[in-house]
Structure 1
Amino acid sequence: MIRAVLLDLVGVIHDGDIPITGAVTAVECLRKAGLPLRFVSNTTRSPRSAIIAQLAALGIEVTDEELLTPARAAVEWLRRHGRRPHLLVHPDLEVEFSGLDSGSGRAVVVGDAGEAFNHASLNRAFRELVAGADFVALATNRTFKDADGLLSLDAGAFVAGLEFASGRSPVVLGKPSPDFFHSALADLNCPAAEAVMVGDDAESDVAGALRAGLGAALLVRTGKYRPGDETRFDPPPTALVDDLAAATDWILEARRTETDPGDAL
């Protein structure tokens, strides 16, 4: 039985400040069906307040507890382990880490720093790592769909470079970490097997969700999706659908069939 839905944001609900066709209505349909939603994004350039405001401007009201980001997971990790962050993140995201300067140790935190990725900033992070700091990656996505509609390098390439140079493996806090998906469901009392993930990234969103034990993961043909993505990673998506509107139809039909198995005969 499908009891909860996890939704990626960029590439599924919106591209930049433009909602993807049918996405706002699809979210409304899922809510009207009584399905609790969690918005799970690997976005590491914007603080939570900006993400919530952006969604509100698109016509989607999201509460603080409905949104899970890698930055939020990182703050909780740093507090739990008593670490002060050395940040290699986008300048707009630094506000999320304020008030964390009293830990007993250091941790390098890497996100999508954009133009802040340069030799000097990477070398400072490298030196922190070889001096013994912990290594935390907000996400390891390979690419993202940029404002010009083309794919650009995401944080994963820079995380991999630091890992290679330092010989240290990072703790990954965003998708595809199983803990990230489980955290999204923690306050819903929903087993992973009864949740569905909808995303445009076949590796982080879809294969990651299925490896985390979610019952289904749908790959949309919007956002960063490119033909053939559905066959590139294992496990493959439960279904390939055109967009969030089609994913919503799939979810609601699956629930209807579960409620009335006779319809499936």
Structure 2
Amino acid sequence: MTKAILFDISGVLHTDNQPISGAVDLIKRLRRQSIPMRFVTNTSRATCQSVLNELKQMGFDIKSDEVFTAPLAIKRLCQTKGYRPFCLIHPDLTPEFSDLEQSQPNAVIVTDAAYLFSYDNLNKAFSLIMNGAPLLGIGRNRFFKSEGQLQLDAGPFIQALEYASHVEAQIIGKPASSFFHEALTSLGMAATDVLMIGDDVASDVIGAVDAGLQACLVRTGKFLPEDEAEASAANAMIADSVVEAVNQAFDLDF
């Protein structure tokens, strides 16, 4: 039985800051019915506060403590471990890590860094890893969809560093079970009572199923038709949109 929902954000609630049809009203109705929700994302082009602000500007009724981002999880890990990271990250994400000591780096953080994925920056990361610095990745997402086009995400670059250094990255965001479990802890729910709705079959759907959650793949955002076979093999639901996904989960008609 579904008692709470984890929503991926980009591609599920909106695409290019345009809400998916019916999504804004859906969140309002779930709120009125007191259904617990968390909004989880591997986004690496915005701080946690920016994500919240953007969602509110689109009309979504979301509270600050309901947003879970992979960059924020990485930051918490650095603070706990005393890491001074070399941040190979997107410029828009820089404020999230600005209060961390970053001189004489002893760790490497890799998110979607866009044009900053230069040879010099990748080689600096490689050198640090070869000297013992842990490689911290936001996720293994291969690509994302923006402005109607698929674009490379952080995953391919993380894998390149792993291949070169023979070191396995510690993945902090989806599909890591620890990321899902952190959201579950905040909900106070058992994994089997929570539904994850996402557009990425690997990170959102299979990651959630591996962590013990229910999962639903939506045919919006980065969804590709060939993803359906993987979702079905994982016993996940498939829906045309987030609205239909919630309808299926709760047997409702929003």
Q: TM-score, normalised by structure 1?
A: 0.91
- 8 Å contact from structure 1 (residues 230, 236) kept in 2: no
Q: CA deviation at 1:95?
A: 1.0
Question: Equivalences for 1:34-73 in 2 at 5 Å?
Answer: 34-73=34-73
Question: What amino acid sits opposite 1:41 in the alignment?
Answer: T
Distance 1:128 1:101, change over 3 A: same
What count of residue pairs does the alignment treat as equivalent?
252
Question: What amino acid sits opposite 1:142 in the alignment?
Answer: R
**Is residue 220 from structure 1 mapped to residue 207 from structure 2 by the alignment?**
no
**Partner of 1:184 in structure 2?**
183
Question: Equivalences for 1:1-265 in 2 at 5 Å?
Answer: 1-101=1-101, 106-147=106-147, 149-214=148-213, 216-232=214-230, 235-253=233-251
Question: What amino acid sits opposite 1:164 in the alignment?
Answer: Y
- 8 Å contact from structure 1 (residues 6, 40) kept in 2: yes
RMSD across aligned positions (CA): 1.7
- Aligned-partner SS, 1:83: coil
- 8 Å contact from structure 2 (residues 109, 136) kept in 1: yes
Moved more, 238-247 or 102-111: 102-111
Q: CA deviation at 1:151?
A: 1.1
Q: CA deviation at 1:163?
A: 0.4
Q: What is the rounded CA distance, in whole Å, between the counterparts of 1:155 and 1:104 in structure 2?
A: 24
- Aligned-partner SS, 1:136: strand
Q: CA deviation at 1:245?
A: 0.9
Question: What amino acid sits opposite 2:186 in the alignment?
Answer: D
Distance 1:251 1:233, change over 3 A: closer
Q: CA deviation at 1:248?
A: 1.5
Q: Which runs of 5+ in 1 are unaligned?
A: 255-265
Q: What is the rounded CA distance, in whole Å, between the counterparts of 2:235 and 2:199 in structure 1?
A: 11
- Aligned-partner SS, 1:232: helix
Question: What amino acid sits opposite 1:3 in the alignment?
Answer: K
Q: What is the rounded CA distance, in whole Å, between the counterparts of 1:235 and 1:34 in structure 2?
A: 32
Q: CA deviation at 1:99?
A: 2.0
Distance 1:117 1:103, change over 3 A: closer
Q: What is the rounded CA distance, in whole Å, between the counterparts of 1:226 and 1:237 in structure 2?
A: 18
- 8 Å contact from structure 1 (residues 52, 61) kept in 2: no
Q: Which runs of 5+ in 2 are unaligned?
A: none
Q: CA deviation at 1:104?
A: 9.5
Q: TM-score, normalised by structure 2?
A: 0.95
Question: What amino acid sits opposite 1:43 in the alignment?
Answer: T
Q: What is the rounded CA distance, in whole Å, between the counterparts of 2:118 and 2:235 in structure 1?
A: 36
Q: What is the rounded CA distance, in whole Å, between the counterparts of 1:103 and 1:152 in structure 2?
A: 31
- 8 Å contact from structure 2 (residues 217, 231) kept in 1: no
Q: What is the rounded CA distance, in whole Å, between the counterparts of 1:40 and 1:16 in structure 2?
A: 17
Q: What is the rounded CA distance, in whole Å, between the counterparts of 2:250 and 2:34 in structure 1?
A: 11
Q: What is the rounded CA distance, in whole Å, between the counterparts of 2:4 and 2:103 in structure 1?
A: 36
Q: What is the rounded CA distance, in whole Å, between the counterparts of 1:88 and 1:141 in structure 2?
A: 16
- 8 Å contact from structure 2 (residues 6, 197) kept in 1: yes
